[in-house]
Structure 1
Amino acid sequence: MSLMKGWAAARELRAVLGRLPELRKLVRRIGRRAAVRGPRRWLPAEAEDLGCPQGVARSVRAPSEASGIARSGAIELMLPAEAHLLVQGRKRSTLRALHHARRLEQSLLSYNRASWVEVPTRELRAEEVRPAGENGPLILCLDTSGSMARKGGAPETVAKALVFECLRQAQEQQRRCCLFAFSTGAELQQLELDLTAAGLGRLLEFLSFAFHGGTSLNEVLLASVERLGSSQQWQNADLLLVTDGEVPRPTEGVLGALGEARAEFGARVYGVVVGSKTGEVMQSLCSVHKAVEGKLHFALNWGLVLHFFCDGFVGGGWTDLWHSVLGGYLNLPSNIIKGCANLAILPFTFSAVLGMLSDSRPIFGFRRRPYIAGGWFLCTLSTLCLVYRGLPAPYYCFENGQYLYQMPPCNPEAADHFVPLVLCLFCSCVGAVTAGAAANGLLVEYAKQEEVETRGRTQIVLQMVKLSGHLTAVLLSAFGFNGRMFNGSFDQSRQLNFQQLMGIYLTCVAVTSVCSLFLVRENKAVRSSFRVQMSSVWNLTQSKAFLFVGIFVFFRTSLGHMSSTAEVWVMMEWAKVRGIQIQMSNALSLLISLAASYLMRRYLLNVSWRKIIFVTSSVATATDSLWDHSDSSPSIPSLLTVFDIVRDPYFYLGEPISRAVPTATNQLITVLMANELADDDNGAMVAGMLQSVYFVGIPFGMVVSNQLFSSFTPALTLRENFIEDAVSFRWTVAYSYLVAYTFSFASLALLPLAPAQKKQAQARKQEPGLHLRTSMAVSCELM
């Protein structure tokens, strides 16, 4: 079984080498040529055609005949039975792997062909030749510690690819190659790499080996020095040290022995650092060092890119269904519509549980890919159900392109058909949240692989992809699903119906499900116990860094969503805002969010998070908006609308546009905080816990605001008061806006709870935890 895993790893490493040509160039440089002339050899005696007596010469061009069966690696001479294995390998990969193994071992059953030709020859003088020395042997020192495996798996993959390339070039150039795999002192392994049957077995077993353990350079450097002095051939060898940079400094005795070997044999030490800074230790040890940045995850990772696009496309598009289908088509009461919307948000509160499941329970050895694909597969089944069921006839009679609200309803039972629709949408949300929890965990692993200065760039790019998907959904709803039958603005005959729209979503989620299964790159992981996961959760709850960030996200979100209950009727009755205007405003907001995300990645990645939050919030407030995901109305545009000074829909809709910048930047800052708070094995759980806290804060803020503003009189929820439009009622509405504005602006006082930047977050993480009782009290409050 380990050999089969090794062959599978070998095929993957061959693709990795194709994407990292600099590794091949580096291996070619290793191993010094001999400083003296090479060993004495005699050239074959030359033959000259001068009419001399006939001689016998062996020639590949001469006609030949089969003289028996032999073993070789020549494909052109192999028997049909060997070719049959290769053909059958199209259906069974094990047969194809067996064929390649026998070819590498030079054990293919082949025809033994012999050919001679008689030519007149005369022997000339045989000359002595002393060619220049060939490249010396390779000594590969490979770090197999646990840190090489935890950082997204890319360092381990690159390291194994280097082993593969060293063996290939050593075989091609007839050079010897020795591998020292080191972690802690007691786990030093020595392998002679060659293409014999035993050598291939050792290589394949190593390729299936999972890296683990600590790191120590003392034993491997002493073993390398001993190998350099073992024979005259090994004196021309060079050392290649491959690590992730997290190595302790060797002892002075080891450094002295290595220095003596360098002086005596002229040995050079090449260093390859994968996924981290080079560090002082590697700079002092290596004559030549090269950093291979952790960008391995971009190659053939289109499944992850498509996941984020589909996440934004589906999440942004289905938001419009609540009002257009449930309200405009089925004519459900507003409280039921709001309840259905809250039901769709419910799965997001379990992001932490789903993230913990992804961290601890790998499927077929993978922690992320099966959950991403499985989540989108559930979404595919739910969407397929919506396409199959469709919708009943509308509640009101629809004639001549408009509803007849004055007439009795043509289908009073339409409102009773919302349950299957909502259940399908709920299942789709469960699938999307499951896929998102696993994908966020994978992104945290990628971020851990990046250097501190550039950490988070990958996530920002994928968040921009998600915003692009959301923008696509908004444009589709604005111009493709905006018919009057669904409370839109255009002729229904020129717009998509419900089943056609669901067909588009079905195509998107189905393709994403398949691509997520095959085009998401991750390394295999080991299953962890429930006790280990609960211990990780408990350590988080005792950490000041995580608890302070959790409190910050919860109360900031809650205060930001304390909005006046008068907003809906101010927008619809006083500002006369319609669906197409809202959608175009949302599209412009998303474009601004994309620009803000680009600026964040390009210029603000290492700027203080507190400064970014404060500046964007203050600027948004000054331009009549509020901070961070807020649904509360700003001051000036809303107040001018309330007092009937300017009642224009486009003027009123300036608020979501100015709110886009703080919304985008604060979403990204929350993601960057999760990178620093997470450990190497709980990225999905930490990201999921912050997401759960955020989605718990939204309904909490709404409930508090509903209770608060229900005490205002006249009632802010009755449409009749807005139709009457009394001056005294305008002041009541204005006071409600000012109260909501005050709460949102006061939430800036929570900024000291958030870390300023990555280094401060790491420093907080190392601080002593909270007292047991305090930790339990705060955890219970957050739960």
Structure 2
Amino acid sequence: MSNGDPVHKVWLFDEAHLARHDTTASDSPIAYVQALPTKTEFDDKDENNFLPDGALREGGALELMSREALGLLGQYVAVGIIYGCLPALLYPVYVKYLNFAGYQAASYSVLITLCWSFKVFLGMLTDCFPIGGYKRRPYMIIGWGICCACMCLMAFVPFPDPYISKTLGELPEATISKVRGGDFSNLTAAQKNMVNINASERSNFWILLSTLGSFGYMLANVAADAMVVEYAHREPIHIRGRLQSAIYTMRYGSSMAPLLIVGICMNGPEYDGSFNWSIGPNLIFGMLIFPCAFAIWSALFLVVEDRGVKPYFHSYVQNLWNLLRLRVMWQICAFRFCSNLFYNFDSTATLIIPSIWANVQPLTKSLFAVANTILVAFSIYIVGKYGLHWNWRTTIALATIAVMLIDGTILILTTWNILRNQYFFTTSLLPDSLPSGIRFIISGYCAVEIADIGNEGAVFGLVTTVANLATPLSTVCYKYIDSYFELTSADLAQDTTAVRWSVTYSYAIAYTLKLLCLAFLPLLPPQKAALQKLKRTGRSSSRAAAILVAVFVAALAFSFITNLMALFPQTSCYRIAGGNGQPTIKNNITICG
């Protein structure tokens, strides 16, 4: 075999696989692995796969109502609840209750998902370091244990008082909007004392624990993803992707419950809602303890896993590097990173417009978010049932363009006060996640085709991680660009023509960059067979692999540091953190700059 040929090696020495090949003269497992034939050296009855039916490993397709499948579904139900709830708290709790600025709100949304950028490392952990002979279940239990502990702490430590008390919440909407922008001229001295101007500065405890809790359930999710890849490998090519579609439909579907609870129960005066009652954030965190406990029980009593053989770490790393050198790997990663980097460009005004201009109540936002989740889950179901052989490029392009046209129209009409209505504005949220959902499920299909036996966790983690990493990086970029425009809460509260033009310019830049994401579609093979062909015939490149690793590490460090800076008063004014670049002075003391 020449040095430039693709290398495909196996690290999991299961008896079923060993029985299909003659061993070498050496009894050494490493020598045996080095002697295994590449995929192109197998008897090529089906040019794309090992088995005649197109499956990538033996065992047969998993029954969706079996114990194994129900155990996995239980993991994703819990993931859907936590993953649905924590981001849903952004608007009612952090934007309304604590009165976060736009750049601070963007940083919260990034920090609670930034841990997903470490999926590849945790995938390697579950692949290489079994606990008690098991590679997946123990990490599910550990991850959910961490998440459960964080939810307990956030539930029992008193949450800060709201920026606007319930009494002030009864004032006219115009007055409330000015108060949120920092204008207290219409308030009496007693009313000014009811404004908790330091509310946003006292939230770091919950933000950091939310980040740690996200890390915990993400660890469990990585282990579950690796098992899904193993089961998907057993599916014939004509139905491969069915299990993934069912699982992720369940994940999105289960996120509806927390959205409804947040929307209905966090709609009181302190949240700028229309109800005269509400529940505090502590109770929401207390409710999240139950799905964590359910996931632990599911991992203990429903998930089925056989003991595996611990791979040789040096051999694992070497073969993972060889996989990174393959064109199929770095090309898919390049597509995922570049495409998502541009697709996720937005404006920092997006998180403020609903509060100040459209007057969107938490209940309305949550109800539309539920409808959006139903639509996304339904789209994944349709792709899994009818679209397993659709052209991936065409599907992504059509969904992206359609959603941009809808969003752009609604945002312009709202910005220029042609039509400002909470129901009309939140309509733009309805189809917004469709392209993201389609991109996500297609990336899962790609990971299954690329992964070899034994490296399922690392490969699935890497293919999805590069997209997750693009999100915080694009957030940093558009926050830096928008720091030159008048897009703060105070600016939007003034609602001048200059402010409206600033918002328009910011969206013009964002949507132009969003369109550029379509330029990277040629990097994505149109379907599974084309991807398998690229894996067999594509050339390898150590330079491309080194660039991929270097960009990954640099982007991860940059994104984490800059988004963390936005949470602290001492660094939040810097443009790289989303501030305006001007020193922040409070009580005649310079606290930033």
Q: TM-score, normalised by structure 1?
A: 0.59
Q: Classify 1:517/1:668 alpha carbon distance in 2 versus 1 (closer, same or farther; 3 Å).
A: same
Is residue 503 from structure 1 mapped to residue 286 from structure 2 by the alignment? yes
Report if aligned partners of 2:102, 2:348 keep a CA contact under 8 Å in 1. Answer: no
Is residue 354 from structure 1 mapped to residue 125 from structure 2 by the alignment? no
Match of 1:36 in 2: none
- Secondary structure (helix, strand or coil) at the match of 2:419 reads coil
CA distance in 1, matches of 2:386, 2:409: 31
Is residue 468 from structure 1 mapped to residue 235 from structure 2 by the alignment? no
Report if aligned partners of 1:330, 1:394 keep a CA contact under 8 Å in 2. Answer: yes
1:435 to partner: Cα distance = 0.5
Report if aligned partners of 1:481, 1:501 keep a CA contact under 8 Å in 2. Answer: no
Match of 1:525 in 2: 308
- Secondary structure (helix, strand or coil) at the match of 2:365 reads helix
Q: Classify 1:709/1:491 alpha carbon distance in 2 versus 1 (closer, same or farther; 3 Å).
A: same
- The partner residue of 2:67 within 296, 300, 323 is 300
CA distance in 1, matches of 2:136, 2:476: 35
Q: Classify 1:525/1:409 alpha carbon distance in 2 versus 1 (closer, same or farther; 3 Å).
A: same
- Secondary structure (helix, strand or coil) at the match of 1:362 reads coil
Is residue 646 from structure 1 mapped to residue 439 from structure 2 by the alignment? no
1:185 to partner: Cα distance = 5.5
Q: What does the per-residue CA deviation read over 1:261-308, in whole Å, with 9 as the maximum and x for residues that have no partner?
A: xxxxxxxxxxxxxx95469xxxxxxxxxxx984225752132311110
1:730 to partner: Cα distance = 3.4
Q: Report the identity percentage.
A: 24
CA distance in 2, matches of 1:612, 1:709: 31
- The partner residue of 1:372 within 140, 155, 159 is 140
Q: What does the per-residue CA deviation read over 1:117-157, in whole Å, with 9 as the maximum and x for residues that have no partner?
A: xxxxxxxxxxxxxxxxxxxxxxxxxxxxx99987xx8x96x
Q: Classify 1:693/1:344 alpha carbon distance in 2 versus 1 (closer, same or farther; 3 Å).
A: same
- The partner residue of 1:619 within 396, 402, 411 is 402
CA distance in 1, matches of 2:242, 2:489: 48
Instruction: Work out which structure has the larger RCO, using CA pairs closer than 8 Å and 6 or more positions apart in sequence.
Output: 2
CA distance in 2, matches of 1:500, 1:575: 28
CA distance in 2, matches of 1:442, 1:389: 36
Q: What does the per-residue CA deviation read over 1:433-470, in whole Å, with 9 as the maximum and x for residues that have no partner?
A: 10111111111111111111111100100001101111
- The partner residue of 2:350 within 557, 560, 567 is 567
1:753 to partner: Cα distance = 0.5
1:514 to partner: Cα distance = 1.8
- Secondary structure (helix, strand or coil) at the match of 2:193 reads coil
Match of 2:5 in 1: none
Q: Classify 1:368/1:402 alpha carbon distance in 2 versus 1 (closer, same or farther; 3 Å).
A: farther
Match of 2:464 in 1: 691
- The partner residue of 1:757 within 511, 520, 527 is 527
- The partner residue of 1:710 within 483, 498, 520 is 483
- The partner residue of 2:221 within 417, 436, 440 is 436
CA distance in 2, matches of 1:357, 1:743: 36
The aligned runs of 1:261-660 (5 Å cut-off) are 277=52, 293-295=60-62, 298-301=65-68, 302-330=70-98, 336-394=104-162, 397-399=165-167, 406-409=191-194, 417-492=202-277, 495-621=278-404, 624-625=405-406, 634-660=407-433
CA distance in 1, matches of 2:205, 2:379: 39
Q: What does the per-residue CA deviation read over 1:382-414, in whole Å, with 9 as the maximum and x for residues that have no partner?
A: 212223324355465544975997331487886
CA distance in 1, matches of 2:344, 2:488: 17
Q: Classify 1:779/1:457 alpha carbon distance in 2 versus 1 (closer, same or farther; 3 Å).
A: same
CA distance in 2, matches of 1:413, 1:706: 23
CA distance in 2, matches of 1:249, 1:663: 36
Match of 1:233 in 2: none
Report if aligned partners of 1:569, 1:722 keep a CA contact under 8 Å in 2. Answer: no
1:336 to partner: Cα distance = 4.8
CA distance in 1, matches of 2:42, 2:200: 66
Q: What does the per-residue CA deviation read over 1:557-602, in whole Å, with 9 as the maximum and x for residues that have no partner?
A: 1111221333344333333322222111111111111221121111
CA distance in 1, matches of 2:21, 2:95: 65
Structure 1 or 2: more strand by fraction = 1
CA distance in 2, matches of 1:444, 1:364: 22
- The partner residue of 2:448 within 675, 678, 685 is 675
Q: Classify 1:778/1:149 alpha carbon distance in 2 versus 1 (closer, same or farther; 3 Å).
A: closer
Match of 1:739 in 2: 509
Q: What does the per-residue CA deviation read over 1:229-250, in whole Å, with 9 as the maximum and x for residues that have no partner?
A: xxxxxxxxxxxxxxxxx99599
Match of 2:474 in 1: 701
Is residue 777 from structure 1 mapped to residue 547 from structure 2 by the alignment? yes
1:504 to partner: Cα distance = 2.0
CA distance in 2, matches of 1:774, 1:389: 48
Q: Classify 1:700/1:393 alpha carbon distance in 2 versus 1 (closer, same or farther; 3 Å).
A: closer
Q: Which deviates the most, 297-306 or 424-433?
A: 297-306
Q: Classify 1:401/1:717 alpha carbon distance in 2 versus 1 (closer, same or farther; 3 Å).
A: closer
- Secondary structure (helix, strand or coil) at the match of 1:716 reads coil
1:743 to partner: Cα distance = 1.4
Q: Classify 1:443/1:739 alpha carbon distance in 2 versus 1 (closer, same or farther; 3 Å).
A: same
- Secondary structure (helix, strand or coil) at the match of 2:275 reads coil
1:485 to partner: Cα distance = 3.4
Match of 1:133 in 2: none
CA distance in 2, matches of 1:753, 1:249: 27
The aligned runs of 1:141-220 (5 Å cut-off) are 183-184=20-21
Report if aligned partners of 2:101, 2:488 keep a CA contact under 8 Å in 1. Answer: no
Match of 1:723 in 2: 494
1:499 to partner: Cα distance = 3.7
CA distance in 2, matches of 1:386, 1:504: 11
CA distance in 1, matches of 2:206, 2:380: 35
Report if aligned partners of 2:155, 2:282 keep a CA contact under 8 Å in 1. Answer: yes
Q: TM-score, normalised by structure 2?
A: 0.77
The amino acid that maps onto 2:242 is R
The amino acid that maps onto 2:491 is E
Where do 5+ consecutive residues of structure 1 fail to align?
1-145, 160-180, 188-211, 217-245, 251-274, 280-290, 626-633
Say which one has the larger Rg.
1
- Secondary structure (helix, strand or coil) at the match of 1:510 reads helix
The amino acid that maps onto 1:760 is A
Report if aligned partners of 2:101, 2:489 keep a CA contact under 8 Å in 1. Answer: no
The amino acid that maps onto 2:524 is A
The aligned runs of 1:221-300 (5 Å cut-off) are 277=52, 293-295=60-62, 298-300=65-67
Q: Which deviates the most, 330-339 or 316-325?
A: 330-339
CA distance in 1, matches of 2:501, 2:53: 64
CA distance in 2, matches of 1:689, 1:768: 19
Report if aligned partners of 1:297, 1:446 keep a CA contact under 8 Å in 2. Answer: no
CA distance in 2, matches of 1:383, 1:711: 38
Report if aligned partners of 1:384, 1:506 keep a CA contact under 8 Å in 2. Answer: yes
CA root-mean-square deviation: 3.4
Q: Classify 1:615/1:318 alpha carbon distance in 2 versus 1 (closer, same or farther; 3 Å).
A: same
Structure 1 or 2: more helix by fraction = 2
The amino acid that maps onto 1:757 is Q
CA distance in 2, matches of 1:185, 1:686: 28
